[in-house]
Amino acid sequence: MDQSIYLACLNNSCPDLLQKLAEKMNKTFLFPVRTLQLKLDLKSFYSQEREQYEATSILKSLESLRPNFSGKIIAMMSEDIYIPIFTYVFGLAHLNGNSAVVSYYRLQNQYYGLKPDHSLLFIRIYKEVIHEMGHLFGLRHCYKSWCVMYSANTIDDLDIKSDAFCEECEQILLAIARR
Amino acid sequence: MDIKILIVDDEESVRDSLASWLEEEGFLVFVAETAEEAAQILARQDIDLVLLDIRLPGMNGLEFQKQIHTNNPDIAIIIMTAFASVDSAIESLKRGAYDYIVKPFDPDELTNIIRHAVKQKLLERENKELKEKLSGIQGMDEIIGDSPAIRKVKELILLVADTESNVLIRGESGSGKELIARAIHMNSKRKFAPIVAVNCGAFTETLLESELFGHEKGAFTGAQYRRKGKIELANGGTLFLDEVGDISPKMQVDLLRVLETRTITRLGSHQEIPVDFRLICATNKNLEKMLEEGSFREDFYYRINVFTIFVPPLRERKEDIPVLTNFFIHKYARILNKKPKHVSDDVMNLFLQYHWPGNIRELENVIERAMVICRDEKITPTHIPNLGSDAIAEAEPLSLKELEKRHIQKVLRMAEGNISLAARWLEIDRTTLYLKMKKYGIKK
């Protein structure tokens, strides 16, 4: 099983961010992390009513690109995303799936009326990427509020939790990596 | 501990994405498209929480909510609704739904609602388990035996437990009167409030007054702190007065006043404090004789003696001795960290022949001692104290007439010469008892 992780920015919107994320992840994880360029027309995922992009359909499109690469893909985008039942999501991945999507629209300080903070934004995106990666490797949400697998639905929750797995989640992840 | 959640929604996308999200949260998720399908799942699975769409094909959400409340009242229901049907959602809250949430959900709001509902569910489950455990520990299970005499006692306990009537438990010392009182309490509506036991024979009149009514700081020499009395501590629960026959006439008047006014006043205070408790008393004394002698007040007697339970002495339920023996062997094996032992046939025969004047308490003491000193697998006569002489006396063959004579003498002794009480225990009328006493030359 290919355990490589491919980081991609939809429509090449954030190449510097991708590189930085890949470097940090390669230092931390056993899985090789690579970057990827992806072109995806987002128009069909746009909801006029919600003025957001529908994340479930984006995941399906990412799946359709899979014959071109093995491993798991985590795509980032600057637009706001939702799923039918939720008003918004920061990211979406299916348990043991191969594709995940992360939106940094609501991770930016500007969204909350604050001054931009690029280093804080990077930390938030990193946490969200690691969280979705955890789901792709079969990790469920963790009840410990400081574990990266904690389900953070607000920016405060996201800032409070750390960017690391708790001991329990780490053990599960290591067991998966050794398979 | 797995929490099982059932999602009932006719929209596939809602079911799938909600199920996927809840599974990530670590819940066990079931989905249904209609109320009818959901009802089948509820019949098979022990569901904790239902996320119910208000608009469903066939039976709608509100109707189904009613059905769930009727058939599975412990299930928490969270109503899912579109903005347009918020009024219906509010109606569902009035009908007992845990909460409602408007579609599309704010992820934070949904998380909080589900986490709170689950937390409450877990607490309820824990609470229920602890209550069941508690009632198992101190309920009827503690009354060992299946003889007709003890079965009758158990029936009476269940009969009176759920009422608010005062109960008087009568029986010899060591026959387990406090156990009966606790069983009544644990089978009553008051079981989750305390049962407070007071041994009235263990206190002088002044101390008993302070023990029962409490006192204010400085109420008497040595009263350095304010202290609640046992009656106040039993508020909401049961007050068990053991050896009630030892209470002085003055205290009987004080207690009678409490029973009539349902208030107490602490020593050194004028403030009346309302109290709500059920009274259970126990005695091995002949209260009727005390009434005749004037040492027990008639009004207090009738107040506490609304319902009487006679606890049979062990010698009148000898068929329970093997099971009681086994119970105490296992009890002391646990306490002494030893393996349970058997009793030899000789020992069991002695046990069955002996008349046990100290009742179950005596049997327990004999077994505790035997468990301490016995190093073998079997308890033999060498491990038990000398029960022999009495047992042999009981074992000698008697004619029916002699047996009847001795039994009448014994009951009269127990009733302390009270003919009415002895006749009641013998289940014959007083005239017949007088005739039999005359026939056998028995004096009062």
Of A85, A94, A140, the CB nearest to B105: A85
- DSSP type of residue A135: H
Chain A contact probe: residue of B108, B110, B113, B119 with most A CBs at under 10 A: B108
Q: Which helix (H) or strand (E) holds A101?
A: strand A99-103
Q: Does the active-site annotation cover A132? A: yes
First to last CA, chain B: 67
Q: What is the pLDDT of residue B392?
A: 41
Distances (CA, A) of B187 to A123, B161, B163, B181: 59, 6, 10, 10
For residue B243, is pLDDT > 70? Answer: yes
The pLDDT tens digits of the residues spanning B114-148 come to 989 988 888 887 887 777 666 555 567 778 888 88
Q: Which residues contact A22 (CB under 8 A, 6 or more apart)?
A: A7, A33, A34, A35
Neighboring chain B residues of A88 at a CB cutoff of 8 Å: 107
Would the pLDDT of B35 be above 70? Answer: yes
> What is the band of B391 on the pLDDT scale with cuts at 50, 70, 90?
very low
Q: Using an 8 Å Cβ cutoff, are A155 and A105 in contact?
A: no
Q: How many residues are present in chain B?
A: 444
- Taking the CA of residue B77 as centre, how many other CA atoms within 13 Å lie in the half-sphere pointing to its CB? 30
CA distances from B60 to B55, B77, B101, B139 (A): 6, 14, 17, 44
Query: What is each CA distance from B22 to B26, B47, B82, in whole angstroms?
Result: 7, 14, 20
Instruction: Please report, as a single letter, which amino acid is at residue B384.
Output: I
Among B2, B17, B53, which would you mutate to test the A interface (most chain A Cβ atoms within 10 Å of its Cβ)?
A: B17
Query: How many CA within 13 A on the CB side of residue B142?
Result: 20
Query: Which entry of A23, A132, A167, A168 is annotated as an active-site residue?
Result: A132
pLDDT tier at B3 (50, 70, 90 boundaries)?
confident
CA angle A119-A122-A125, nearest 5°? Answer: 155
Q: Write down the pTM of the prediction.
A: 0.53
Mean pLDDT, chain B, whole residue set = 86
Other C-beta atoms within 10 Å of B64: how many? 25
Non-local (6+) Cβ contacts of B66 within 8 A are B95
**pLDDT for B394-437, tens place per residue?**
545 678 888 888 888 878 877 778 888 888 888 888 889 999 99
Length of chain A: 179
**What is the number of CB-based contacts under 8 A between chain A and chain B?**
52
Name the packing angle between helices B388-395 and B345-353 (round to 10°).
70
ipTM entry = 0.78
Beta bridge partners, A53, equal A46, A81
- List the A72-77 sheet strands across, edge first: A33-38, A5-10, A72-77, A99-103, A91-93
| Cis-peptide, bond into residue B104, ω within 30° of zero | yes
Q: Which residues of A touch B107 (CB under 8 A)?
A: 86-89, 153
A50 conformational bin, left if phi > 0, alpha if psi -120 to 50, beta if neither: alpha
Q: Is B106's CB within 8 Å of A87's CB?
A: yes
Predicted pLDDT of residue A91: 95
For residue B244, the number of C-alpha atoms closer than 13 Å in the C-beta half-sphere is: 29
Strands in B99-102's sheet, in edge-to-edge order, are: B28-32, B4-8, B49-53, B76-81, B99-102
